[in-house]
Amino acid sequence: MKIILNQDVPNLGEEGDVCVVKDGYARNYLLPTGAAVLYNNENLAIFKSRAAAIEKRKLAKREASASLKSQLDNVTLKLIVSASHTGRLFGSVTSLMIQEELAKLGYNIERKRIEVASHTIKQVGMYSARIHLYENASSVIKLEVLSEAEQKAAERAAAKAAKEAEEAAAKAAREAAEAEAAAAAAEAEAAPAEEEAAEAPAAAEEN
């Protein structure tokens, strides 16, 4: 069936493109959802009248895609998964996991735009995933796959070290306060003797 895309459809085309697709795909998805309209003279005329506006939107999408690519190219995601003591994964790294981690960073990427060869990720380590952007543009992000058990152990060790540092700082503060108090007490005890020593010459002169 010949249709005109009413919006961008990944792996098919962009708004205004004329495509030939299977009848079932058109009837069950593209036409009912408004993603496309039938190719006929009336609809073709409508799209021709919208050509300038469509091209303007395409330009804006290209610019946004280029900006997003420059940001994503510098992204490294940390994915914490279940793994054995040897680092072999029990589960798999999925596009949903990547989508959720990207969302935490403020990037709202559709799952269907995320390409990850999860079957090749079997051990903890560094990997990559491709993010399809606009037209033929794409970005490759880095994936740091970590063991959940090791991560929890590291967190416990960090928490223990922080607690010990806090206790050491508190102890040092107490010792410093005690030393300051002792110095003040010693100074207070020495004051009368100093006063007597200062008064002694004056008393001798009077006599």
Q: What is the pLDDT of residues 88-128, one digit of tens each?
A: 898 889 999 999 999 999 999 989 889 998 788 899 999 99
pLDDT of residue 187: 79
Is the pLDDT at 12 greater than 60, yes or no? yes
pLDDT tens column, 30-45: 999 999 999 999 999 9
Length of the chain: 207
pLDDT of residue 136: 80
* DSSP structure class, residue 82: -
Q: Are 29 and 1 in contact (CB under 8 A)?
A: no
Per 3-state DSSP, what percentage of the chain is helix, strand, and coil (rounded to 5)? Answer: 55, 20, 25
* C-alpha closest to that of 30 among 44, 15, 45: 15
Is the pLDDT at 153 greater than 70, yes or no? no
Domains of the chain as residue ranges with CATH: 2-49 (3.40.5.10), 71-151 (3.10.430.100)
pLDDT of residue 29: 93
Q: Are 127 and 151 in contact (CB under 8 A)?
A: no
Is the pLDDT at 147 greater than 90, yes or no? no
Counting residues of the chain whose pLDDT is more than 70, the rounded percentage is 90
pTM, two decimals, is 0.60
Given its phi and psi angles, is residue 157 left (phi above 0), alpha (psi -120 to 50 degrees) or beta? alpha
- Residue 43's DSSP bridge partners are none
pLDDT of residue 105: 93
What number is the average pLDDT over the span 134-159? Answer: 82
Whole-number average pLDDT of the chain: 86
pLDDT of residue 73: 93
Is the pLDDT at 178 greater than 70, yes or no? yes
Is the pLDDT at 69 greater than 90, yes or no? yes
More confident residue, 153 or 88: 88
The whole-angstrom separation of Cα 133 and Cα 190 is 80
pLDDT-based confidence at 4, cuts 50/70/90? very high
* C-alpha closest to that of 65 among 107, 95, 100: 107
